[in-house]
């Protein structure tokens, strides 16, 4: 599991995927999310603007990242 540290109150899902290196670009993140390939806290997420907060977990392409403040 990879840890993604955030400075603000939240980070958007598409940004988190890019920051963690799971997506090369915002466009790649957008399509992965729209195709239902990304889970947030165990549930499939379709909105790339979903706000992630401290403690949230994201699963994509067999990898998991955790958001920490």
Range of the domain at 63: 2-68
- Going by the DSSP 8-state scheme, the letter that residue 9 receives in this structure is S
Residue 69: helix, strand or coil by DSSP?
coil
Query: Which CATH number fits the domain that encloses residue 37?
Result: 3.10.290.10
Q: pTM for this one? A: 0.92
pLDDT in tens, the chain (69 residues): 899 999 999 999 999 999 999 999 999 999 999 999 999 999 999 999 999 999 999 999 999 999 998
Structural domain count, the chain = 1
Q: Say if residues 33 and 13 touch (Cβ distance below 8 Å).
A: yes
């Amino acid at each position: 599991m990879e840890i993604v540290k955030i400075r603000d109150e939240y980070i958007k899902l598409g940004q988190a995927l890019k920051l963690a290196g799971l997506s090369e670009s915002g466009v790649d993140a957008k399509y992965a999310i729209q195709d239902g390939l990304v889970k947030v806290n165990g549930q499939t997420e379709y909105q790339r603007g979903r706000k992630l907060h401290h403690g949230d977990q994201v699963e994509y392409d067999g990898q998991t990242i955790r958001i920490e403040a």
